[in-house]
Structure 1
């Protein structure tokens, strides 16, 4: 019987809690923008007594009680709340606006509101230095974001050991900078940086791909650069760095299809392919003293940035290099012929020696037969021959 009473009590308690459960609303507020915290109730026609609490502290009331509640950054949507709307507006939300709010109407809790304040990640930047460092960064973010590095194909964790610094500014927003040291730069890998907001509502990515190309004086050189397939509504910029001085070469906007160029010796390989992300560059008759250096192709989209950095070396002459290759080939051919001739001579000598051995054995046998016949005809001659033969063997 006791178990029955206890079971009935528990069921009743669960039913009461379910019936009396106060709704909870989550609201995402954008940093420095106005944000509405909702609260509605069933109006009885008269003026309602409304109170708003933040972390159990009274911050706003209607009719207004006290002065300075909410520090001037909160106000009711409606002055009387007679229409059943007790919602309030946070003016220019900042980090002090976040937290748990409670709306109480006529001494009865109507709504709990969880306010999250976020300065979204609006940009991501990636760049590199000649000393082998790659930096990924963003700024004016709240709360502090998370920065991660990866590569394709995947490298061992020991090969990716970035140093990340996240620091707050005077306005409370964070700047994130992460530096990756490429000890052994692999031209077969793409290095990727991912910045994610604390609430995981945003993820921005950036990538860096190194490559090397050798060109020849006076001969046109193509530097390949293609955007990721998924990238849309992007802008592209070619830059050239030499002696720590960087200058723009070409720019392109996929939305307006407009080009701009600042150098006569560089142009797109095919302008028509720029709309599909092929931004390959042609250097016309490059000269080592002027055009060797670092060429960077950067694609920037709404939530991404991709860099392809090419170290270009211009040699003084291709003919000299081709002549050296030709001489090496000829030397190899001559050596090969000499070795082949030597093998042929050895084989011929071996065969000739092998052929002479049976002939000599047959000749010796014939001579021995002839001597035996002579010995039979003349015994004295035979004895003499035998004696000579014995003497010769001894």
Structure 2
């Protein structure tokens, strides 16, 4: 019995020592998120002692990532996918910094990394969970005939795409969405929506999102206008939209004007230099000397860091010196009044002459 009690005590002591050792060796997981193809730091710190040996290892893929001992890098056993992409902060090792710098981060780099430090004292281990993300950058939205298409590419992890309208409508947003992944494991996503023929001024919004960010692109078809050969104002209809970039296009492909509100730069294409007269603060454009060759679709594209708003306006060119219908009506009324006044004056004058003749 006494021997059994001693064995139990010894077993408990061994378990306690092992438990305490585990607590000192493993410091728990550190979460690190890195941008695709950017530089990333995997943190690791230790208690400084003599004979420092550092070994970074990918537990997920069982690859040797980076080794350091005898006061220098030892990369003979480094896996080839990390070649020329890893480094330590050597001037800070003596202060207890064994962090790893990884450049050109790819999706393949995701996983758990172990930082193993051995010195004359007890080993020290820390784990880092590396996740990679490629944020949604550009969302392209375009209308062709009765279909509107929204797409984006170069995204990780797999994105989600949703449609909505402003104001909210009872339209059933039946869409067809496809998702593909390339050799770099980045995702592209595309979705198409069938438009209703009576949806003028209805704003269609496409939002593409991941756990790290989202971007929205919106499109609408404004009421067609009749332009003039002398002066035509085409509106963006975006009074409440704060934008940093403005782009005007003709028939979806021909650039008219490209303007940055951030640095104040503005570029007008050579083909439209004579036609562009003015651009307002809200993005509306004033064109002059238009001809029938400039009939078509004018696209205003406003964007900022998170959103893009596109408005399409169909313009038909008619003759005349003004596009202001109200002004034309006023001018016609004024002419009629002047003619009536002249007629009345001549009538009165004629009648007065007749009365004078009768008197004589």
TM-score, with length taken from structure 2: 0.69
**How far apart are 1:56 and its partner, in Å?**
7.3
Aligned twin of 1:179: 192
Structure 1 residues 205 and 51 mapped into 2: Cα distance closer, same or farther (>3 Å)?
closer
Aligned twin of 2:150: 136
Structure 1 residues 62 and 250 mapped into 2: Cα distance closer, same or farther (>3 Å)?
closer
**How far apart are 1:99 and its partner, in Å?**
0.8
Q: Within 2, Cα distance between the matches of 1:185 and 1:144?
A: 34
Aligned twin of 1:206: 217
Q: Within 2, Cα distance between the matches of 1:282 and 1:36?
A: 51
Q: Within 1, Cα distance between the matches of 2:110 and 2:29?
A: 15
Q: Is the 8 A contact 1:127 1:134 kept in 2?
A: yes
**Aligned pairs (5 A) from 1:105-116:** 105-106=117-118, 108-116=123-131
After superposition, the CA RMSD in angstroms is 3.6
Q: Within 2, Cα distance between the matches of 1:137 and 1:154?
A: 22
The answer to whether residue 47 in structure 2 is matched with residue 42 in structure 1 is yes
Q: Is the 8 A contact 1:213 1:223 kept in 2?
A: no
Say which of 97, 103, 106 aligns to 2:115.
103
Aligned twin of 1:8: none
Larger radius of gyration, structure 1 or 2?
A: 1
Q: Is the 8 A contact 1:236 1:252 kept in 2?
A: yes
SS, match of residue 212 in structure 1: coil
The answer to whether residue 296 in structure 2 is matched with residue 293 in structure 1 is yes
Aligned twin of 1:91: 103
- Could you tell me which runs of 5 or more consecutive residues in structure 2 were left unpaired when the two chains were aligned: 1-15, 330-360
Aligned twin of 1:68: 78
Aligned residue pairs: how many?
296
Say which of 46, 57, 60 aligns to 1:52.
57
Aligned twin of 1:153: 167
The structure with more helix, counted as a fraction of residues: 1
The answer to whether residue 258 in structure 2 is matched with residue 247 in structure 1 is no
Structure 1 residues 215 and 171 mapped into 2: Cα distance closer, same or farther (>3 Å)?
same
TM-score, with length taken from structure 1: 0.64
The structure with more strand, counted as a fraction of residues: 2
Aligned twin of 1:126: 141
Structure 1 residues 56 and 178 mapped into 2: Cα distance closer, same or farther (>3 Å)?
closer
Q: Deviations over 1:275-325 (max 9, x none)?
A: xxx2223344655x3333111111233333211101223457999xx99xx
Moved more, 146-155 or 249-258: 249-258
Q: Is the 8 A contact 1:268 1:279 kept in 2?
A: no
